[in-house]
Amino acid sequence: MNTTVGIFQRRDDAERARERLITLGFRREHVSLLTPHSSDAEIAAVRTSDTEEPGTGAAMGTVIGGAAGASAGIALVGMVPGIGPVFAAGWAAVALMGLFGAVGGGIAGHEVESALSDGLPKDDLFLYEDALRKGHSVLIASAETDGEITEARRVLRDAGAEDVDTARERWWIGLRGEDQEYREPSYRHGVESALHPDVRGKSFDDAAAYLARRHGDEARSDAFRRGYERGRTHCAGLGTRHD
């Protein structure tokens, strides 16, 4: 499964792009949407009644932060630490909500695990968080072929989406401020590594074995370690939590 991601400043544009992809033949559950600031009416609509989107399975989670009960299918609302209520639709969005720590038990399953293993990079989770924190929406399209992903990228671009690479650079420019160490690539890699969900909140020493497996000798450099500590400080200031 291949994946492409677009970040939209306007929720309406993201929703229109999602519907456009579905009209073109993308499976609805494979076109995922994350958007913040869900209304009370939207939260109330996600409950155990007939709220499943076409082709989805049984109830798979608990809605956190709303009056609703268990979420059905692949549409749910969760309270993301440091962000607030976020609406998620589609398997990839549900998988990300689990990584955010926004949804309790019950979301494990083949489709969610597949969404995390087939082309959805956990390394970019902090970019999705940043977008949601700014009130933007994240649209994730998954498909089997390169041709379909090329078409999805065109649709997202035409709808006004920012791609992940552009979002990453914008995020980094905003974070680095007057910090001159940002010029060292290893320092930046250390910052981003500290935001990965597998080590979020861990000290450098506690994460050292994992970092060495992922980053090799670079993880042993002073610049990488300084960056990791900078990333930990940044994460702590946002009030995020990954369980």
**Burial 79-95, CB ≥16 within 10 A → b, else e:** bbbebebbbbbbbbbbb
Same domain for 188 and 147? no
Same domain for 199 and 122? no
- With bands split at pLDDT 50, 70 and 90, how would you rate the model's confidence at 105? very low
Contact 243, 101 (CB under 8 A): yes
Domain interval for residue 150: 2-164
Would you say residue 171 lies in a domain?
Answer: no
Boundary (domain end) residue, out of 164, 188, 216: 164
The total of structural domains in the chain comes to: 2
pLDDT beyond 60 at 55: no
Question: Which residue type occupies 65?
Answer: G
**Structure pTM?**
0.79
- With bands split at pLDDT 50, 70 and 90, how would you rate the model's confidence at 90? confident
Mean pLDDT to the nearest integer, 65-80: 51
Same domain for 136 and 38? yes
> Which pLDDT does position 227 carry in this prediction?
94
Q: 124 — alpha (psi -120 to 50), left (phi > 0) or beta?
A: alpha
Same domain for 224 and 130? no
Contact 141, 154 (CB under 8 A): no
Q: Which two three-digit tokens encode residue 157?
A: 């671009």
- With bands split at pLDDT 50, 70 and 90, how would you rate the model's confidence at 51? very low
- For 22, other C-beta atoms within 10 Å of its C-beta total 16
- DSSP three-state, residue 148: helix
Same domain for 184 and 126? no
Instruction: Output DSSP code: residue 183.
Output: G
> Which pLDDT does position 193 carry in this prediction?
95
